[in-house]
Structure 1
Amino acid sequence: MSQQEAPVSGAPAYAPPPAARRKPWFLIGLLAFIVIGGAGWTAAWFYASGRAVQEIDRWMAAEAERGRSWSCADRQFGGFPFRFELICTEPTVTFTGPAGGSAKATRAHAVAQVWNPRHIIAEFDGPGVISSPQAGEITATWSLLQVSGVGRGNDLDRLSVAADDYALTQGGTVFFGARHAEFHVRHTPGSDAATLDIAAGVKGATGVTTAAGGAAPIDGALEMTATQVPEWRAVLAPAARLQAWQAAGGRVKLLEARLSGGGGAMNATGEIGLDPERRPSGTINLTMANAPALMSALSAAGLMPAFMVNLAPALAVVGMPGTLDGAPASTFPFTFRDGRISLGMLPLGKIGPAF
């Protein structure tokens, strides 16, 4: 046996040197970055939220100058850290123009993202009440009412309104309802600010329902472009706005105005404005497929007087042959010129000023 001592039984043959202790600078730096970044974001959010509140107040003041006074019974602002949220209890707009009136809802909840504060989406809780000296008080109800707006400078560039299960009631009678209704308006891209694209649509629309509740729902769609549209101010009477539009040479280009229901359909296209005597001037091309079915559906839905259904056979006689969505149809080219209206070459009579 060698004179060197044998290793102790059970002891490892080799023990690695102790690892060097890692310095915590990386973790400390990461933690500091998170804390400083969070503090900076918080400060930036509160600064931006303060600016947003100022912009809201400035917008409300500008609206008041246009004859639309907005108010809230209670207003709360929040949404930290990634959104701006405004909750308005009993939002009300009062029109101070010649027509007067007001509109209000139960509650509004508006939201905008921090990185896109000019795009605001708001939901309104019903019921709402619309009142005016001329029409009295109308109650509006809905299951969902959403408004989306995109700003450009101090004005709106685009506005959209969509509602589900919408109904208008007066004196306990529902005079209009729709399973879905929507409205969109925007400044036409590439055109001046006075040119607007307008679109609207309804699904399952009905008017005043009968005692038996019979109502065949109607679908409708509208798409048009209007030029020389004056700024909408409640302080101006409707006739004054029309006069300003006519004086500026405003025109409406009707791309589509469609109604369908009961197996029938109708669509109108054309372009129209007002001449120097304030009379309609332009052409409207109306096409109807299965006019008796459509007019019967409109009457059943409470959107057309019942006696007008009897005119359906006559329409097929005076209309020109055409097609609508591939189905046989009757076409009616109406012309408005010099205070007269004609159907093709057939004079129909005179038409007076619009205001």
Structure 2
Amino acid sequence: MIETKAPARRSAPWVIAVPLLLVLMLAVCWCGLWFYAAAHAEREIEAWMAREKLVGREWGCGERRLTGFPFRFELICTAPTLLTRGGDPLRITAASAHLVAQVWSPNHIIAEFAAPMQIEDTATGKLYRASWSLLQMSAIGDMSGNPHRISLSADQISADLLPGAGAAPVPAFTAKHFEAHARRAPAAGGPEGIDYAVGLVDGDTPALAQAGGSGPINLTVQGTVTALTDLRPMPVAERIRAWAQEGGKFRLDRFQLTTPKAALSASGAVSVDPQGRLNGTVNLGFSGVDELLKNLARSGVIAPELAPVIGALALAGKSGDVAGRQGTTFALTLKDGTLQLGKFPVGIIPPLF
């Protein structure tokens, strides 16, 4: 008996064609969605810049491009500029800015800025130039553009004052690292707050050396400020007045400033009444600052009256820890602008507006 083999079964063409067609359709849809979202992002950028201009901040780019297809949005801005009006008028320019957001998280933006940056006070004509090895910013907001969290980090910073044509730059400040963070804090029966944190590593300034001090300076600041909703450029006195009218409070959870020979620490909470007077409590600590304060007063960096006042307060304080060093600590009360040590007035702070 002769056996015959059944013919091999041939795969139906649609078994291969259908998945391939689905992949192609998905790719076409993804392309369409990306370009639609990119066009929408361009419109949102224009609308945001228009809103910013109305409140006194005018942003610009020498050239602006939106790229990043297929999984990111990348905004490349050459020669970015910022003009502020309403407070201290400033003109800020940088070499370039590169902003990136992932398609699945468009409200989380990471930006990198290229040095140098120039900051010009258009009212006085003073011009500063800053440079760094790395300057990055991270921002998370809602889909309407309102920020919820912002972080800024910079390494190897230097800043110079540019006196004018033909004159050599005057060194103003250097630091190994700087960072600043801010985030919205939930309201607890009062105005919404902003948690803030600032850090400085190995900062230095010629002004400190001229005053007889020595660097580097290290700084840590943390706390919360409430009712800081109006961020339009405006004079400082006007901003404090608006903040006071909203019932704002400034809480300092941690302040530590150290140099090789001196240290300062502070904590507390203050507010401003409708007359511009400070109210609240402040805990201060000093270590090794006597000679530094005298030198700062002699060089005109601080008011001559301030050094003896702090010296007198130190005598009335008690021994304690100041940023990890042995120093003097004391508690102060601010009542209607009067500075009190216990129940005894030791000074008056003029109204802030």
Give the alignment's TM-score, normalised by structure 2: 0.85
Aligned position for 1:177:
174
Matched, 1:321 2:319: yes
SS of the residue corresponding to residue 186 of structure 2 reads: coil
Aligned position for 1:226:
225
SS of the residue corresponding to residue 150 of structure 1 reads: strand
- Of residues 8, 15, 28, the one that matches 1:26 is 15
Aligned position for 1:6:
none
Q: How big is the shift at 1:311?
A: 9.5
Partners in 2 of 1:169 and 1:87 — Cα distance?
27
Deviation track 1:225-278 (CA, whole Å, cap 9, x = no partner) reads 1111131112x3322211111122211011011112316533210011112321
- Consecutive unaligned residues of structure 2, counting only runs of 5 or more, are 163-168
Aligned position for 1:82:
71
Matched residues, percent identical?
35
Partners in 2 of 1:278 and 1:129 — Cα distance?
34
Q: How big is the shift at 1:35?
A: 0.7
Q: How big is the shift at 1:27?
A: 1.6
> Which stretch has the larger CA shift, 307-316 or 88-97?
307-316
Distance 1:347-1:315 versus aligned 2 partners, 3 A rule: closer
Aligned position for 1:71:
60
1:166-245 to 2 correspondences below 5 Å: 166-171=157-162, 172-190=169-187, 194-208=192-206, 215-234=214-233, 236-245=234-243
Aligned position for 1:99:
88
Aligned position for 1:278:
276
1:140-155 to 2 correspondences below 5 Å: 140-152=130-142, 153-155=144-146
Aligned position for 1:161:
152
Distance 1:278-1:292 versus aligned 2 partners, 3 A rule: closer
Aligned position for 1:3:
none
Give 1:163's aligned amino acid. A
SS of the residue corresponding to residue 331 of structure 1 reads: strand
Give 2:130's aligned amino acid. A
Q: Is the 8 A contact 1:195 1:227 kept in 2?
A: yes
1:133-144 to 2 correspondences below 5 Å: 133-134=123-124, 136-144=126-134
Distance 1:100-1:311 versus aligned 2 partners, 3 A rule: closer
Distance 1:250-1:107 versus aligned 2 partners, 3 A rule: same
Aligned position for 1:287:
285
SS of the residue corresponding to residue 262 of structure 1 reads: coil
Aligned position for 2:28:
39
Partners in 1 of 2:117 and 2:131 — Cα distance?
6
Give 1:229's aligned amino acid. L
Partners in 2 of 1:313 and 1:240 — Cα distance?
33
Partners in 2 of 1:111 and 1:154 — Cα distance?
15
Deviation track 1:270-313 (CA, whole Å, cap 9, x = no partner) reads 011112321211111012345569x59x98xx9x77x9999998
Q: How big is the shift at 1:16?
A: 5.5
Q: How many corresponding residue pairs?
A: 336
Highest Rg: 1 or 2? 1
Give 2:151's aligned amino acid. S
Partners in 1 of 2:262 and 2:214 — Cα distance?
15
Aligned position for 1:126:
115
Give 1:127's aligned amino acid. P
Q: Is the 8 A contact 1:198 1:224 kept in 2?
A: yes
Q: How big is the shift at 1:343?
A: 2.7
CA RMSD of aligned residues (A): 3.1
Give the alignment's TM-score, normalised by structure 1: 0.85
